Structure 1
């Protein structure tokens, strides 16, 4: 910050940010000292070791803890100090306190409250700073953005309702599809059962017809045999032939051969 535009601006107002930071650091150190002194006294009184060797041991232990706490606190305060110098006490580029009444009065009020340095200027009028930062165009754009955001929120709500309605329809369609599939499965099962029963019935009828046909053939064969036996005009030689040549006489064989030659 040294030699910067911010330093020049604060110097023109008789302000020194580094003095303010140093005061804060000194106050923090004083608070730590007072806290550990009080802790040592309370511990010595509670343990009743005042004026003994144990009092020295207590002091050494408290000092060790204090150094640890002080070291951590110093690191954090160093970061805070650098942040203040880099950001808190940095003024915008081209800042001129003599031309910016609001900024001048705000900084003057800051010095009055924090550093307790009296000034010749009257207390800051907050309305001056407020009026200085009012931007009509910016407010209009913000209002427009708010209105657009409201419209988008309404459209989003409508889309959410449509999505919920579509999800409900999808659930209904899925339920209907499940019912249809279940019905088709039941229908296929019934069709298979009916086809199987039809096959069993057809096989049974086929067996009956085959059995009936066999019976008819057997009866026809018996009938032919009976008709042949009862036929008075049948050829005796044929009868002998049907009986076979086993046990036939020579005369019978000669008669059979002669019969064949005459045919």
Structure 2
């Protein structure tokens, strides 16, 4: 695009590239002026304290001036190149850009485009909100399911522990009860055997006493001791069966 068209476009938007470049160049010149002015003052103060202050002051002033011209030439050359680059590349309007016929219409078009972009952004934001809400709901459901599974697992462990303790208690009570019943049966048997022993002892005494009385007789009465012993044995067997 030609320079006149570019300038017209920049003017339409209240922009002036050349003014920007000039302000930068003036700022660089001001910085150089301040730097060399400070250098000249420092050199004058140093030479004033010496004996031959006037001669040395003039020599230093010439040296500072020479350095300034040397550095200024290099800076000017570099800044010229920078100015050309900015004007040719940074502030050149690409081809195809048309000047707006009416500034107000261009603003309306810009606002319309911004409005459309805002609508699209709002739509995307709504979509993201819906997705985030769905993810949050799913996360809450998973969290509730996790708590439910943890609760079921805890109840299952408690149930298993209760069943185990109950079985151990039943086994312990069963063995204890069996031992107690064996002890009771043994006690009954000991008591019954004691009774049988007493009965046989009495029977033996009666038999001896009877033989003494009927020692001169031929007939000896029937001994009922055998039937009594069988009854006692049968009673002992019944005790064992019911134990």
What is the TM-score normalised by the length of structure 2? Answer: 0.39
State the TM-score, normalized to the length of structure 1: 0.36
More helix by share: 2
